[in-house]
Amino acid sequence: MAGLIAGLAALGLWELLSRAGTLNPLYFPPPTVVGITLVARATGGDLAPHAAATLARLSLAFGAAALVGVPLGLAMGMIRPLRLVLDPYIAALYPLPKIALLPLLMILLGVGEQAFVLAGSLTALFQIILNTYGGVTQIDPVLLEVGHNYGARGLALFRRILLPAALPSILTGLRLGLGLALITTIAVEFTAAKSGLGHLVFRAWQTLAAAEMFAALAVVGVIGLAITRGLLCLQRRLLAWQQTYEWD
Amino acid sequence: MRRALGWATPILSLVGLLAVWEWAVGARILRESFFPPPSGIWQQATMLYASGGLAGHVAATVARLVAAFLLAALPGVAVGLLTGLSATAREAFDPFVAFIYPIPSLLYLPLAALVLGPGELPAALVCAVTPFFVIALNTALGVRSIDRPTVEAAVHYGATGRRLFQKVLLPGALPYVLVGFRVGLGLTLIVLIAVEMVSAKQGLGALLWQSWEILRVRNMYVGLALIATLGVLVTSGFDAIARRLVPWHQGPARSTRRP
């Protein structure tokens, strides 16, 4: 509640300073102007198609990364030789910002959606693999032994013990992966793509359309907020048995 | 035997891939124009280095990385300590977290460039935004993780101000601060490469983008290899420092925390 008041106060101050000219309205148009632009562009203009383009890329990138990353991470966690073979590549490529791969991907795949989506997808993929196999390898061995002694083998051991024990870490990986995929997707749009919210901000920069830029930023902010806070709430709900979670 | 296998397999795996790559290009299974052989990439790297361009790109990126990280870390720790200690400070900080933090900070580049004009400052500031929040949030979490009786006991024994900070708060929060630094460094590198791709003449991101514009695939691989090396050096070097600073804390080795 106090946060809401502080936020509104900040917006009010911005409005005043911008109207008074203390803040250059060319760069910082008053929030009311941004709001009007936002509504006008969202209903009649191209804001909605650009937002749809970003969301489509993001969901494709994230979906593919999750489909590949979770099974691969689980396999790496359970099969030691596989882990030993793949670990050096993960260690070498995880710290590499995947946006750096974009130029190469555009040469290999052509300048198009495949390259754009793949850059975002790779970003999420490494995070998801790391957290998934970390979740499996960090399971308390006693837990597995107990399960084994009670007769859990094969699929039962996997479903009843391994998966639930690794689940918190897997969900964290998915959440972080989605956040990182958003960063890369926006960067791809900002640098190379000709559509999407990232491109809209870039275009607004080139044409000095500050109100349009803030409107696009606001939409990105809502998406980002949904990813950072919304998914955290979802994770807490899914993992109700975990008393404390990393972010309270 | 098992241990020998433990460190030999990764090395064999990497060397093996490079060897297969080299062979596959020679046998014309991989197209050389898209996948130049590792030996060719190495040659290109030594050539670029000899002609004097490469060191400048590396130096520019490293300098920006250090500057942006300091711009994020110093205020980040300060704000984190403050918001960790005081509920009022946290409430005041919350709207900034809600409004500014969720937006990928590359999108602040136009605004920073318009307001601050050309130069290095806007780039460094833009790269520092997200890591600043990550470090501040982690530091605050670290402060709140210190158990209350410890702080009360310290105050009871006369620790106040600077001493309380030095002897209790900082060591208590340090493991979390370091997690914030580590994640923050990774995020700084991501945004920095993107910023260099769009708006710099020097730096590894600029090298990548220029190579793309003139389709110099080998230069691109050289740039990628250097960025990957930089990333590995930064994270592994950082882990080594963290292990020395907080040996009592078996930190989340490679898992990350980006609240």
CATH of the domain at B115: 1.10.3720.10
Any residues with CB less than 8 A from the CB of A92 and at least 6 apart, and which? B14, B228, B232
Quote the pLDDT of residue A231: 81
The backbone region for B87, taken as left when phi is positive above 0, alpha when psi lies in -120 to 50, beta otherwise, is alpha
Domain-located, residue B250: no
Q: Indicate the pLDDT class of residue A234, thresholds 50, 70 and 90.
A: confident
* B14 and B110, same domain (yes or no): no
Domain-located, residue B255: no
Mean pLDDT, residues A207-236: 88
Model-wide pTM > 0.95? no
* B1 and B85, same domain (yes or no): no
Quote the pLDDT of residue B259: 38
A107:B215 CB<8 A: yes
State the residue for tokens 């310290």. B154
Q: Dump strand ranges (E) for chain A.
A: none
B34:A108 CB<8 A: yes
Between A57 and A227, where is the model more confident?
A57
Quote the pLDDT of residue B255: 40
Residues of chain B below pLDDT 50 = 252-259
pLDDT at A67 over 80: yes
Any residues with CB less than 8 A from the CB of B98 and at least 6 apart, and which? A3, A7, A225
A127:B256 CB<8 A: yes
Domain that holds residue B22: 1-35
How many structural domains is chain B composed of? 2
| Structural domains in chain A, sorted by start | 56-238 (1.10.3720.10)
Any residues with CB less than 8 A from the CB of B146 and at least 6 apart, and which? B168, B169, B172, B173
DSSP A47-89: HHHHHHHHHHHHHHHHHHHHHHHHHHHHHHHH-HHHHHHHHHH
The backbone region for B252, taken as left when phi is positive above 0, alpha when psi lies in -120 to 50, beta otherwise, is beta
State the residue for tokens 């984190």. B80
Go through B74-87 and write b for each residue having 16 or more CB atoms within 10 A of its CB, e for each that does not: eebbebbbbbbbee
* B3 and B59, same domain (yes or no): no
Residue B257 has what DSSP assignment?
-
pLDDT at A56 over 70: yes
Nearest to B73 by CA among B193, B236, B183, B172: B183
Q: Indicate the pLDDT class of residue A248, thresholds 50, 70 and 90.
A: very low
* B18 and B120, same domain (yes or no): no
A246:B211 CB<8 A: no
Q: Indicate the pLDDT class of residue A242, thresholds 50, 70 and 90.
A: low
Between A146 and A111, where is the model more confident?
A111
Encoding tokens for residue B61? Answer: 């990126």
Least confident interval from A52-66, A150-164, B62-76, B107-121: A150-164
Quote the pLDDT of residue B160: 74
pLDDT at A132 over 50: yes
Residues within 8 A of A (CB atoms), B 123-162 only: 130, 141
Residues within 8 A of B (CB atoms), A 223-242 only: 223-225, 227-229, 232
